[in-house]
A and B are shown apart, each in its own frame.
Chain A
Amino acid sequence: MDKQRSLRISQVGLRGVVGPGLTAAHVLDFAAAFGTFLEKRGKVIVGYDPRASSAMLLEGVTAGLLACGHDVVDLGMVSTPVIQHAIRRHNAAGGVSIGASHNAAEWNALKFFGPNGTYLSTNEAGELLDIYHLKKFDFAEWQQLGKRSADREAMDYYLGQLEQVFDFAALRRFRVLVDCTNGSSAPLLRRMVERYGLQLILINERLEGVEFAHEPSTNRKMVAMQLAPLMRHVGADAGFLFDVDADRVAMATETGEAVSEEMVLVLIAQEMLQMGPGKLIITNLSTTALLEEIASKHGGRVIRGPVGRQAATDMLSGYKPEQIAVAGEGTGAVMMPQFRFVYDGIASMLAVLSALVRRGQTLSALLNALPRYSILKGEVPLETHRIPELLLALEERYADGQRNTQDGLRVDWQDRWFHVRVSQTEPIVRVICEQRGDPPESLYYEIVDLVRSFNI
C-alpha cells in the first residue's frame, strides 16, 4: 500500500504509517480535539506500545491534552486493557491508547476511551471527528493547563482485577508457551510469573521498537509458523500468541497443532454460556457459525452485526451487561462482561486455561469435542466503483440462500455461508466462506472468481 495514502481518520480513531502518512501535526490536532471533546476537565490516562514512533505520539498527545486543561496520567508501556482498567480506577475523564496493535511496526494509531474505559459510541466518535475537522479547540488559559504524572502501578492493579475472576493458583499446573511478539503482553506475563508462580515460557519477550520477530497477526498461519512447532519440544499444555498490544490472541494445542483463530471466541463463549445459559453472544457477520450451534445447545442466541469494533460497541450498548455472555470476533479479539467489555487477549488466555481446569481436559480434547467447521478466508484487490454491482451480482447468483446486507453481503444456507465485504482499512474485498464439516472449496473459489471478474 502507498505509504503516503496510509492515513486513516475514522470513528475508530487515527491510524497510518508514521512519517509519510501519520504526522506529528495529525497527532497534535487529534489530541486537542479529544481534549475538547471531553467536556469535563479531569484526568486522562495514556499508555503506549513499544513501537519507536510511540514516543513521538505520546509527546504530542500529552501536549494536546495538557493544553486543553486535562491532567495526563502516563502509565508507560502497557497493553490497551491496562489503560481501560486504569481509567476506572482513576475515575478519569477518558483515555488514549497509542499503538497499532496487529499492524506492522511502521504503523501507529490512537484509540480513544470514554470515562468508564469503554470505546466511544458511534455518535461520540462522530462528534470527536467533527471537532477534529473544525479545528476549533478549547485550549485552557495558562493558569488552567493540566499537569502530567506517572502511574507505574497500573499493571498491578489490572492483575488484581484479573485475580478477582480467575483462580491463578489453579493455573499453576499448566506449562504454557507464549509468543509475546515483542509487545506489551511481555511485562504483564513476566509479572504474572513472579506474582502467581505461573509456568509461562515466554518467547519474543524483548520489547522492540523497530522490528518485531514476526508480523504481529494472530491467525492460524502465524501460529503454525511460529508457535506450533515448538509445542512438543517444550512440553507445553497450551500455546498462545499475542499481537503487539495484547488485545488479540491465537492458540496452539499441546499436540503442536495451530488452532483456527475463530476458536478463541468459541471456547470462551461455550464456557460463558455454560455458566450463564440463555445469554447472548455478540459477534460479527464474518465469524464462525459454530457459535450458533453452541448457543442453541445452551439456550443462548447469537447477535451478528457489521465487522469492526465500532459496530460491536454499538451492539453492546443495546443490551444490559447481564444479558451478554461474551462479545468478540473471529480474529481472536474477545471481550467479557466481567471486564466491562474490553478486548483483552490476556484475559482470553486465562479464560481458556480456566476452562481446561474446570473440565479437566486437554486443549486438543476440548477442541476435538466440538463439531468440525471449516472456514476459508481470502482477499481480492478492490475496484471501488464496481462494488455495488458486484454485490448485486452475488445476490442474484446465490438467491436461494438467506441474505444479510448489513455489511457487504452475507448469504446463509443450511450448514454453510459466505460473507463478502469491503475492508475498512485497506482497498480490498474480503471473502469468507464456511461449512460444517469439510472446507467449502468449490463455493469459495466460485465466489473469489466472481469477485475477481469485477476487478479488470
Chain B
Amino acid sequence: MSRAHQLKIGVSGIRGVIGGFLTPNLACAFAQAFGSYVGPGRVVLGRDTRRSGEMIEHAVTCGLLAAGCEVVKVGVLPTPTIQVYVSETHARGGIAITASHNPPEYNALKLFNHEGLFFNQYERAELLDLYHQSTFRQAENAEIRRILTDYESAMRRHIHRVLDHVNVEAIRAKAFRVALDAVNGAGSKMSVHFLREVLGCELHAIAVDPELPFPREAEPKPESLGDLRDLMKRTAAEIGFAQDPDGDRLAVANERGEILDNDEVLAIAVDCVLSRTPGPVVVNLTTSAVIDDVAARHGCPVYRAPVGEANVVERMKAMRAVIGGEGSNGGIIFPGVQYCRDSYMGMAFFLDKMAQTGLRVSEIAAELPRYYRRMGKASYEHGRLGPIMQALEERFSGARIDRSDGLKVVTPEGWIHVRASNTEPLLRIAAEARSQDRVEELYQSALREL
C-alpha cells in the first residue's frame, strides 16, 4: 500500500497506521481542533481494544485539555455505547478511538457531536478547515479543566435503552444457547454480560479477552468466522453472533453455523421493528431490495441514502425513519436506542424474534425473498469513474438511474451500483438480481466497462 493511504486526514476524520503515520502528535492536534470546534465543555472519550488505543488516548486527552475541554474518560467500550453516553450526559461531543473493522495496525478517531451523532458533512468540513488553519483554542493554566472517569454507567445506560424495545422476560424464559465471537474487542466484556446476565442465555463465548490481540480479521465476515462455526458445532448453539472491534457491526450465524448475509440480518431487524411500529425505512444505495420487500409487507416506504453511516443517519432523521442501516457492512441503526450502528440492538432483535415466533434462525431467514448478490472491488485510474458511469448509463438506457453516490442502475430484474471507495483507491461494485445468472450478467457488464 502506498504511503498516502497509510494516513488519511479528510472529511471522515483521521485514520492511519501506527508507527510513523498516525502519530500522537497528529492525534493530539486533531483532538485540539475538535475541542476548539465543540468549545470548552465536557467531551467524552472512549476506545476499542487495539494495542495503540492507550497511546492515542493520552494524545487525544492532551489535545482536548489544551483546548480547555473537560475530558470524561469512559474507557474501553463499544462505539454505540459511547454515543449513547454522549447523548445522555449532555456533553459537548465525544471521540471514540477506533479504526473499527480495519486491521490492528490502524487506528482512527470517530467524532461525535453533542447528540452523540457522527458529524454531518458540513460539520466535518468545518472541523477539517479548523485543523488545517491550526488556530486552535489554547487554554491557559486557569482554563485547563479536569479529567473525569466514568467506567461504570455507560454500559448500563446503553443496555437499558436496548431493553426498552424487546420482551426481556420472553427471551430470558427461553435461555437460548448462544455462541459469541467478540474478536477480543471493545464489546468483549459488555457482550458477555449482556447475553449471559441480562438476557439469560447459555453463552459460549470466544475471543472475549480485551487484553489480547484480535484473533481473526477484524471485519466479521463469513471467511473469517471459522472459529465461531466450530464453536457452534461443538456447543449446538441456536444462534451465533460476531462483532467487530468497536461493536457497531454485527454478523449473525444460524443454528447450522452458516453466516447470514448482512442484508438478511438487516431485513430481519427491519421486520422486527415494523411489525411493532410501522414507519419509513432508510438504507444505503448498496443495500438489497429485500428491505423493500419486507417494508412492503408492512406497507412502509424505503428511502435510500449514499453509503456511509453519517449519510444514512442524516436521511433517517429527515424522513423520521423508524429503522435504517447499511446492509452491505452489517450495521443496524435503530433510533429508539441511538442514531448509530449498534450490534447490541441487533442481537436483541434476533433473540426477541426467536422467542416470539419459536422459529429457528434458518427458518426466520427462509421467510425472506431470495436475492442473489455479488460484491467486489476493482482498482481504477483516477479520472476513469466518469467515463465508466457514462458507459453504464448508456448500456442500460431506460433503467432507473441514481447518481447520488457513484452510479446506481435499477432494472426490473436487478441493479448495479458502482462507486469510488472513500477510504481506498478502489471502485466498489455491487449487483443484485433474482437469479444467480442474471446477477453474474449484471456484474460482468460493469466489469467490462472497466
**Chain B nearest CB: distance from A141 CB in Å?**
4
- Chain A binder among B58-66, B244-252, B279-287: B58-66
**Chain B nearest CB: distance from A93 CB in Å?**
17
Tell me if B54 counts as interface (CB < 8 A to partner A): yes
Q: Given A55-B147, A59-B65, A108 and B55 touching (CB < 8 A)? A: no
Inter-chain contacts of B139 with A (CB < 8 A):
18-19, 56
Tell me if B153 counts as interface (CB < 8 A to partner A): no
Inter-chain contacts of B24 with A (CB < 8 A):
28, 31-32, 60, 63-64, 66-67
A17, A59, A105, A106: the one contacting B61 at CB < 8 Å is A59
Q: Could you tell me if A66 and B65 are in contact, using CB atoms closer than 8 angstroms?
A: no
Interface string of A136-176 (1 = CB under 8 A from B): 01011111111110000000000000000000000000000
Tell me if A1 counts as interface (CB < 8 A to partner B): no
B52, B66, B107: the one contacting A23 at CB < 8 Å is B66
Q: Could you tell me if A105 and B59 are in contact, using CB atoms closer than 8 angstroms?
A: no
Q: Could you tell me if A62 and B141 are in contact, using CB atoms closer than 8 angstroms?
A: no
Inter-chain contacts of B104 with A (CB < 8 A):
142
Q: A147 to B52, alpha carbons, bound, how many Å?
A: 10
Inter-chain contacts of A105 with B (CB < 8 A):
141-142
Q: Could you tell me if A146 and B55 are in contact, using CB atoms closer than 8 angstroms?
A: yes
Q: Could you tell me if B105 and A27 are in contact, using CB atoms closer than 8 angstroms?
A: no
Inter-chain contacts of A56 with B (CB < 8 A):
62, 65-66, 139, 144
**Chain A nearest CB: distance from B100 CB in Å?**
16
Tell me if B262 counts as interface (CB < 8 A to partner A): no
A17, A63, A209: the one contacting B59 at CB < 8 Å is A63
**Chain B nearest CB: distance from A28 CB in Å?**
4
Q: Given A141-B105, A145-B18, A67 and B55 touching (CB < 8 A)? A: yes
Q: Could you tell me if A106 and B141 are in contact, using CB atoms closer than 8 angstroms?
A: yes
Q: Could you tell me if B54 and A106 are in contact, using CB atoms closer than 8 angstroms?
A: no
- Chain A binder among B25-33, B381-389, B434-442: B25-33
Q: Could you tell me if A32 and B18 are in contact, using CB atoms closer than 8 angstroms?
A: no
Q: A56 to B60, alpha carbons, bound, how many Å?
A: 10
Tell me if B311 counts as interface (CB < 8 A to partner A): no
The range of chain B's interface size is: 35 or more
Inter-chain contacts of B58 with A (CB < 8 A):
59-60, 62-63, 66, 148
Q: Given A28-B59, A55-B65, A60-B28, A141 and B144 touching (CB < 8 A)? A: no
A141 (CB) vs chain B CBs: closest residue: B19
Q: Could you tell me if A25 and B28 are in contact, using CB atoms closer than 8 angstroms?
A: yes
Tell me if B167 counts as interface (CB < 8 A to partner A): no
Q: Could you tell me if A32 and B23 are in contact, using CB atoms closer than 8 angstroms?
A: yes
Q: A210 to B145, alpha carbons, bound, how many Å?
A: 11
Q: Could you tell me if A18 and B28 are in contact, using CB atoms closer than 8 angstroms?
A: no
Tell me if A237 counts as interface (CB < 8 A to partner B): no
Inter-chain contacts of B62 with A (CB < 8 A):
24, 27-28, 56-57, 59-60, 63
Q: A31 to B138, alpha carbons, bound, how many Å?
A: 19
Q: A67 to B50, alpha carbons, bound, how many Å?
A: 14
Q: A63 to B18, alpha carbons, bound, how many Å?
A: 12
Tell me if A213 counts as interface (CB < 8 A to partner B): no
Q: Could you tell me if B105 and A142 are in contact, using CB atoms closer than 8 angstroms?
A: yes
- B45-104 at interface with A (beta carbon < 8 Å): 50-52, 54-56, 58-59, 61-63, 65-66, 104
A18, A24, A211: the one contacting B140 at CB < 8 Å is A18
Tell me if A283 counts as interface (CB < 8 A to partner B): no
Inter-chain contacts of A139 with B (CB < 8 A):
18-20, 23
Interface string of A196-220 (1 = CB under 8 A from B): 0000000000000111000000000
Q: Given A25-B25, A141-B18, A142-B104, A60 and B59 touching (CB < 8 A)? A: yes
- A1-57 at interface with B (beta carbon < 8 Å): 17-20, 23-25, 27-29, 31-32, 51-53, 55-57
Q: Could you tell me if B32 and A24 are in contact, using CB atoms closer than 8 angstroms?
A: yes
**Chain A nearest CB: distance from B31 CB in Å?**
9
Inter-chain contacts of A63 with B (CB < 8 A):
24, 27-28, 55-56, 58-59, 62
Interface string of A205-249 (1 = CB under 8 A from B): 000011100000000000000000000000000000000000000
B18, B27, B32, B142: the one contacting A210 at CB < 8 Å is B142
Inter-chain contacts of B197 with A (CB < 8 A):
none
B24 (CB) vs chain A CBs: closest residue: A63
Q: Could you tell me if B18 and A106 are in contact, using CB atoms closer than 8 angstroms?
A: no
Inter-chain contacts of B29 with A (CB < 8 A):
24-25, 28
Q: Could you tell me if B146 and A55 are in contact, using CB atoms closer than 8 angstroms?
A: yes
**Chain B nearest CB: distance from A409 CB in Å?**
37
Tell me if B129 counts as interface (CB < 8 A to partner A): no
Q: A107 to B140, alpha carbons, bound, how many Å?
A: 9
Tell me if B413 counts as interface (CB < 8 A to partner A): no
Q: A210 to B139, alpha carbons, bound, how many Å?
A: 13
Q: Could you tell me if B19 and A142 are in contact, using CB atoms closer than 8 angstroms?
A: yes
Q: A146 to B19, alpha carbons, bound, how many Å?
A: 12
Q: A108 to B141, alpha carbons, bound, how many Å?
A: 9
Tell me if B363 counts as interface (CB < 8 A to partner A): no
Q: Could you tell me if B23 and A24 are in contact, using CB atoms closer than 8 angstroms?
A: no
Q: Could you tell me if A51 and B52 are in contact, using CB atoms closer than 8 angstroms?
A: no
**Chain B nearest CB: distance from A45 CB in Å?**
16
**Chain A nearest CB: distance from B361 CB in Å?**
37
**Chain B nearest CB: distance from A34 CB in Å?**
13
Q: A27 to B66, alpha carbons, bound, how many Å?
A: 11
Q: Could you tell me if B140 and A19 are in contact, using CB atoms closer than 8 angstroms?
A: yes
B58 (CB) vs chain A CBs: closest residue: A63
Tell me if B143 counts as interface (CB < 8 A to partner A): yes
Q: A66 to B57, alpha carbons, bound, how many Å?
A: 11
Q: A55 to B55, alpha carbons, bound, how many Å?
A: 15
Inter-chain contacts of A31 with B (CB < 8 A):
24
Q: Could you tell me if A32 and B141 are in contact, using CB atoms closer than 8 angstroms?
A: no
A140 (CB) vs chain B CBs: closest residue: B19
Q: A213 to B129, alpha carbons, bound, how many Å?
A: 42
**Chain B nearest CB: distance from A135 CB in Å?**
9
**Chain A nearest CB: distance from B183 CB in Å?**
16
Q: Could you tell me if A53 and B28 are in contact, using CB atoms closer than 8 angstroms?
A: no
Inter-chain contacts of B141 with A (CB < 8 A):
17-19, 51-53, 105-108, 209-210
B35 (CB) vs chain A CBs: closest residue: A24
Inter-chain contacts of B66 with A (CB < 8 A):
19, 23-24, 56, 60
B138 (CB) vs chain A CBs: closest residue: A19
A29 (CB) vs chain B CBs: closest residue: B25
B139 (CB) vs chain A CBs: closest residue: A19
Q: Could you tell me if B55 and A66 are in contact, using CB atoms closer than 8 angstroms?
A: yes
Q: Given A139-B19, A139-B23, A24 and B52 touching (CB < 8 A)? A: no
Q: A57 to B144, alpha carbons, bound, how many Å?
A: 11
A27, A53, A107, A145: the one contacting B51 at CB < 8 Å is A145
- A166-192 at interface with B (beta carbon < 8 Å): none
B147 (CB) vs chain A CBs: closest residue: A55
Inter-chain contacts of A62 with B (CB < 8 A):
58
Q: Could you tell me if B25 and A28 are in contact, using CB atoms closer than 8 angstroms?
A: yes
**Chain A nearest CB: distance from B3 CB in Å?**
14
Q: A341 to B274, alpha carbons, bound, how many Å?
A: 75
Interface centre among B17, B23, B62, B147 (most CB of A within 10 A): B62
Interface string of A396-416 (1 = CB under 8 A from B): 000000000000000000000
7 pairs, CB–CB < 8 Å, chain A vs chain B: A17-B140, A19-B139, A20-B138, A27-B62, A60-B59, A63-B55, A66-B55
**Which 4 pairs show the lowest CB-CB distances between chains A and B?**
A63-B59, A24-B66, A59-B62, A63-B58
